[in-house]
Amino acid sequence: MALKIVKGSIDRMFDKNLQDLVRGIRNHKEDEAKYISTCIDEIKQELKQDNIAVKANAVCKLTYLQMLGYDVSWAAFNIVEVMSSSKFTYKRIGYLAASQCFHENTDVIMLTTNQIRKDLSSPNQYDTGVALTGLSCFVTPDLARDLANDIMTLMSHTKPYIRKKAVLIMYKVFLKYPESLRPAFPRLKEKLEDPDPGVQSAAVNVICELARRNPKNYLSLAPLFFKLMTSSTNNWVLIKIIKLFGALTPLEPRLGKKLIEPLTNLIHSTSAMSLLYECVNTVIAGQYSCSVGHIKSHLLCVQKLRILIEDSDQNLKYLGLLAMSKILKTHPKSVQSHKDLILQCLDDKDESIRLRALDLLYGMVSKKNLMEIVKKLMIHVDKAEGTTYRDELLTKIIDICSQSNYQYITNFEWYISILVELTRLEGTRHGHLIASQMLDVAIRVKAIRVFAVAQMATLLDNAHLLTGNMQRNGICEVLYAAAWICGEFSEHLENPVQTLEAMLRPKVATLPGHIQAVYVQNAAKLFATILKNQEGNTDSTAAQETSQMMIDRLPLFVQSANLEVQERASCILQLVKYIQKLQQKDVEVAEEVSALFAGELNPVAPKAQKKVPVPEGLDLDAWINEPPSESESEDEQPKAIFTKEEPKHSRPRHTEVDEKELARRREARKQEQANNPFYIKASPSSQKVYQEAPGVEHIPVVQIDLSVPLKVPGLPMSDQYVKLEEERRQKERAEKKKKEKKKRKEKRSGRGKKHDSGPESEEDITPAHVVDIVTEEMPEVAQEDQNRLPSPYLCRVKVCICMFCLCRPLADSEKLPVRSHRAAGAPKSSAEDGEAENATPQEPKKKSSKEKRDKKKDKERDRKVRLRCWKHFPPSGHKSDSRSTQSEGRTVVTFLVFPLPRKVCDIQGNLQDGSQVVVSVIFENKSDSFLKSMEFNVLDSLNSKLQRPEGSGPHDGLTVPFQLPPGVSNEARFVFTVQSIVMPQKLKGTLTFIVKNEDSSTHEKLDFKLHFTCTSYLITTPCYSDAFAKLLESGDLKSSSVRLEGVNMPFHHLLARICFHHHFSVVERIDSCASMYSRSIQGHHVCLLVKTSGQTVSIDAKCDEPTLLGNVLDEIKQTFSQC
């Protein structure tokens, strides 16, 4: 025995253990590879021995080498050997090695199934634990299938240590073997209520991850999780549950409302930043936006985020900004108020924080603050060290300014100045970006050309500043734009001769070829303009001097190595020489020369060609010449195959079209071309200008505010524009106020309809000059982003689990494979009863499409009925009433429209609130399909406007904040602003929504009309008889009366009807005579005196607004004519 031990230890003495190996590697830094290869040889020897201890030691070393990047796949079998050792020490090492080295394609994994099963059922919990841990790393679909049942059994192990691991690993099994989910789910659900908190949180983890993949199946668990959420104190668990709810709320909007309270509580109470951050993120991501509670919690989030951003911890700052950018997408206004803070972050020393802040700024700009923000950014550009960040700033400035077709730029002179200032950046790579902006603005904003040309001329004059250093040549791209703009719009140049000189300086020859080419070509354009200016003069020497200068300078370019430059230069040189000859003979040449460059260049969209209609009779696919005959030669065979296919594509030709039709089409085409901004017209106006001065009339003459200096000496300073702009806006505001005062006066006289505008709003800011932005279709860059290829790493496992309904009873085929001698382990689904309603009966597909059409027709008819019936219900009882109407209807979507001016109840006579009407709409889904993405939109009239959230356009629809599963109804409220309430009004609207079926979804539209009657502006207001008498006596009221014939009902019914439908209250009743009172939301008094005799009812009415009164009486009349 002793000898054996000694022998063993001697053996071991010669072996290197892990520590020796590590030490050895550290000591052989120079020849590490060589040292390791000898070590691997030793390991190979050791693995050949029978001693399991030696083998385990070798495997341990291999695991280390694997981490260093060496291939150890050859030892896979040895690892399995060590795994199957009965000793825990070695088993542990074996499983570790396996979990580090094995992957799905390791073939020996097949051999391990039985060993793992044995370990899983080992009496020693650590054996089981080690096996589970290992399995979590290298589980394959085969292993998952074979072991699913064993692991499921372990979920009910006596030891929480094992239960916990088993629950977690079940998730991996589900991923690899989705069929196991259904049988295992009930047990997994049970674990949510496990006595051990560790097991419980493991179950929460797994279900959360499952639910994030397919939330629909887990909706039924919401109450359970809700309970857990309000009771648990474990932050790890809470975070998971909140994440789960984040996945569930889009499917069940009611959940969102319910969640707001506990989430807000957590936000208030928790000290754990991670939990706070999770809550905030969930609230932000929530799709519910209309309810008051949400707006509150939203504000809270923004507040908390502000605290995060103000924190000194870089991490919190970064995350705060990240979350802010998410809010920005939905509630830009609430972020904009924190502009100061975000601008501050631009000074942060951490570049990743600065970049986040930059991203935020992009979405925060408005017409009002653009100049200010860009000014700050320009300061940062000057300060920024490191070209990457500075370039990032530069692109962001240009992005911010040019976004959505220069939407936020009110003063293009300012923008040009900014661009010119940016050219002073040293070593930027983005010269071409600045250049393309300059070109774009100069071409598309006609009004700016004068200014742009002046600036560009200055740039050309100072070109040596830009090109002085050859390393800065990125920026010289700007000269390309400058030269082109000066040449093309040379008629605006102050001093064309000077610019021409600047363009022909010898230094130009050092510029890149393509820029020189532009210089040469545009020098010629300039030359033409100069000639024309000088021709009128009596002294022709000036013109000849210019020609001479061209002749002197151009040869430099003729010698250029660049073909393009050379060709253009020599061509122009000869031309100028010829012109000079003519000049010497006193021939007037200017017009001929400028004709070379006549005509305006219009911007053309990349897709413009598509818009050009194919002329009648032109078949683009037809052959112009007959294709070569097939029989010509053998080797042309492939071509013949190609041509054979062609005829398929050719369209049928329209050969017989009579004259009339042709004329009609021609006319239509002309019309279309005239309206098409992209069509370059062939009208005489653009061929033009041979005789007249080139295009002078075609340049829109724009009144430019003279407070802005047209020519800025030297390079421009954008800053001054900020000030000027401010002054201009103030002036404008003052003017506007004046106008408004006038209007208000008019209004008092009873006609004014335009609403008061509050403090300066976005729309109030008008551009400094009328800018004619030639819009074109922008290339669809955004889409490219979406098509981004998925990274190769993360799309590996695409198993589709949870696609079935968890509550269906188990089919035999779905039961887990179990080894024969065991009892079938799949327990009956306990979830069955709870989730039974969830299972949607599947309908035959064919039927639905046909039905839909029928239903649509019904819809039309039914809607009218329904929309009319709203006025029969008083505000208080609307809920029950709506239900009764549902039962008659067969519509797909039922609308019940219902204006109830409830706000006024509190604040009577307040004109501000008196203009608001709340419309409740009940949407009921009577179809079998799921309706989502509903958008409610109304065509505003001058008088009534739908209140839209801030930041959305006047024609945007409102998203209905819920989705409708079949058979469900829900109510949404929309607020309208009404100017005048004296007239009834109808508003047209549309509801768009997506109908989602089992396998398809369609976009549907429903048109409707909202009928705002005058009655709906009345509120039932009690009035005492003495007050009533005073009112009548006051004499302020105008009177009117109406007679109703053939009313066949008791008097008290009649009164009840008026009260009910028209919101009146009875003041006093004496026999067959009654006085009634009501009041409008804007405080108009309406008094009625109703008398009846036999079947005739006479109503004498008084009101301080005769129009309103007339309309109310008409409506009352209508009510009684219907019965």
Partner 1 sequence: MPFLCLFFMLLFSRQGKLRLQKWYVPLSDKEKKKITRELVQTVLARKPKMCSFLEWRDLKIVYKRYASLYFCCAIEDQDNELITLEIIHRYVELLDKYFGSVCELDIIFNFEKAYFILDEFLLGGEAQETSKKNVLKAIEQADLLQEVRYSPR
Pick the binder of partner 1 from 16, 55, 117, 243 (CB under 8 A): 243
Which residues 8-67 are close enough to bind partner 1 by CB under 8 A? 8, 18-19, 22, 53, 60, 63-64, 67
Pick the binder of partner 1 from 230, 314, 1025, 1118 (CB under 8 A): 314
- Of 648 and 798, CB closest to partner 1: 798
Closest to 530 (Cα-Cα) out of 447, 471, 597, 458: 597
Mapped onto helix, strand or coil, the DSSP state of residue 286 is coil
- Of 315 and 650, CB closest to partner 1: 315
Q: CB of residue 959 vs partner 1: minimum separation in angstroms? A: 22
Pick the binder of partner 1 from 82, 168, 518, 590 (CB under 8 A): 168
x/- map, 742-771, partner 1, by CB under 8 A: ------------------------------
Cα–Cα distance, 207 to 212 (Å, whole number) = 8
Q: CB of residue 786 vs partner 1: minimum separation in angstroms? A: 13
- Of 192 and 593, CB closest to partner 1: 192
Q: CB of residue 130 vs partner 1: minimum separation in angstroms? A: 8
User: Quick check: 620 binds partner 1 (CB under 8 A)?
Assistant: no
Mapped onto helix, strand or coil, the DSSP state of residue 609 is helix
Pick the binder of partner 1 from 51, 156, 265, 274 (CB under 8 A): 274
Which listed range, 228-236, 686-694, 940-948, 985-993, lies at the site for partner 1 (CB under 8 A)?
A: 228-236
* Cα dihedral 1045, 1050, 1051, 1057 in deg (nearest 10): -80
Count of residues in contact with partner 1, rule CB under 8 A: 79
Task: Give the chain's largest Cα–Cα span.
Answer: 132
Cα–Cα distance, 455 to 1072 (Å, whole number) = 87
First and final CA of the chain: distance in angstroms? Answer: 115
- Of 321 and 1108, CB closest to partner 1: 321
Pick the binder of partner 1 from 28, 44, 213, 878 (CB under 8 A): 213
Q: CB of residue 877 vs partner 1: minimum separation in angstroms? A: 45
Q: CB of residue 835 vs partner 1: minimum separation in angstroms? A: 22
Pick the binder of partner 1 from 115, 122, 136, 937 (CB under 8 A): 136
Which residues 142-161 are close enough to bind partner 1 by CB under 8 A? 161
- Of 87 and 653, CB closest to partner 1: 87
User: Quick check: 165 binds partner 1 (CB under 8 A)?
Assistant: yes
- Of 273 and 497, CB closest to partner 1: 273
Helix/strand/coil percent split, the chain, to 5: 60, 10, 30
Pick the binder of partner 1 from 797, 811, 823, 1070 (CB under 8 A): 797
- Of 241 and 981, CB closest to partner 1: 241
- Of 292 and 797, CB closest to partner 1: 797
Say if residues 59 and 95 touch (Cβ distance below 8 Å): no
- Of 238 and 1006, CB closest to partner 1: 238
b/e per residue 867-900 (b: at least 16 CB within 10 A) = bebbbebbbeebeebbeebbeebebbbbbbbbbb
Which residues 775-794 are close enough to bind partner 1 by CB under 8 A? 790-794
Q: CB of residue 278 vs partner 1: minimum separation in angstroms? A: 5
Mapped onto helix, strand or coil, the DSSP state of residue 921 is strand
Q: CB of residue 243 vs partner 1: minimum separation in angstroms? A: 7
x/- map, 395-434, partner 1, by CB under 8 A: ----------------------------------------
- Of 140 and 149, CB closest to partner 1: 140
User: Quick check: 126 binds partner 1 (CB under 8 A)?
Assistant: yes
Which residues 472-531 are close enough to bind partner 1 by CB under 8 A? none
Q: CB of residue 185 vs partner 1: minimum separation in angstroms? A: 17
Q: CB of residue 352 vs partner 1: minimum separation in angstroms? A: 6
Say if residues 397 and 381 touch (Cβ distance below 8 Å): yes
Closest to 151 (Cα-Cα) out of 138, 210, 100, 136: 136
Cα–Cα distance, 7 to 1087 (Å, whole number) = 118
746: Cβ–Cβ under 8 A, 6 or more apart, which residues? 752
Pick the binder of partner 1 from 54, 143, 239, 1103 (CB under 8 A): 239
Cα–Cα distance, 1091 to 264 (Å, whole number) = 58
Q: Could you tell me how many residues make up the chain?
A: 1123
Which tokens hold the place of 988? 């047209």
User: Quick check: 234 binds partner 1 (CB under 8 A)?
Assistant: yes
Q: CB of residue 31 vs partner 1: minimum separation in angstroms? A: 17
Which residues 173-212 are close enough to bind partner 1 by CB under 8 A? 175, 198, 201-202, 205-206, 209, 212
Say if residues 1080 and 915 touch (Cβ distance below 8 Å): no
Which residues 316-375 are close enough to bind partner 1 by CB under 8 A? 317-319, 349-353
- Of 319 and 486, CB closest to partner 1: 319
User: Quick check: 124 binds partner 1 (CB under 8 A)?
Assistant: yes
- Of 97 and 364, CB closest to partner 1: 97
Instruction: Report phi then psi at 252, rounded to 5.
Output: -135, 90
Phi-psi map region of 933: left, alpha, beta (phi>0 left; psi -120 to 50 alpha): left
Beta strands 944-946 and 930-938, pairing class: unpaired
Q: CB of residue 167 vs partner 1: minimum separation in angstroms? A: 9
Which listed range, 129-137, 473-481, 541-549, 866-874, lies at the site for partner 1 (CB under 8 A)?
A: 129-137
Say if residues 362 and 403 touch (Cβ distance below 8 Å): yes
Which residues 74-103 are close enough to bind partner 1 by CB under 8 A? 87-89, 92-93, 96, 99-100, 103
- In Å, how far are 527, 554, 586, 927 from 541, measured between CA atoms? 15, 20, 11, 87
Which listed range, 134-142, 395-403, 982-990, 1087-1095, lies at the site for partner 1 (CB under 8 A)?
A: 134-142
Pick the binder of partner 1 from 273, 604, 640, 774 (CB under 8 A): 273
- Of 282 and 521, CB closest to partner 1: 282
- In Å, how far are 406, 700, 1016 from 379, measured between CA atoms? 22, 35, 57
How far is residue 568 CA from its own chain's centroid?
Answer: 48
Which tokens hold the place of 111? 């051999």
Cα–Cα distance, 860 to 856 (Å, whole number) = 7
Which tokens hold the place of 28? 């052989």
Which listed range, 312-320, 362-370, 431-439, 812-820, lies at the site for partner 1 (CB under 8 A)?
A: 312-320
Pick the binder of partner 1 from 58, 76, 81, 171 (CB under 8 A): 171
Which listed range, 234-242, 391-399, 537-545, 829-837, lies at the site for partner 1 (CB under 8 A)?
A: 234-242
- Of 102 and 527, CB closest to partner 1: 102
Which residues 985-1004 are close enough to bind partner 1 by CB under 8 A? none
Say if residues 982 and 1107 touch (Cβ distance below 8 Å): yes
Residues paired with residue 1018 on neighbouring β-strands, in sequence order:
1080
How far is residue 666 CA from its own chain's centroid?
Answer: 42
Which tokens hold the place of 195? 């006595």
512: Cβ–Cβ under 8 A, 6 or more apart, which residues? 473, 476
Beta strands 985-996 and 1096-1103, pairing class: unpaired
How many CB atoms within 10 Å of residue 570? 17
Mapped onto helix, strand or coil, the DSSP state of residue 918 is strand
CA angle 75, 80, 81 (to 5 degrees): 95
Pick the binder of partner 1 from 113, 115, 133, 1040 (CB under 8 A): 133
Cα–Cα distance, 838 to 807 (Å, whole number) = 8
- Of 322 and 595, CB closest to partner 1: 322
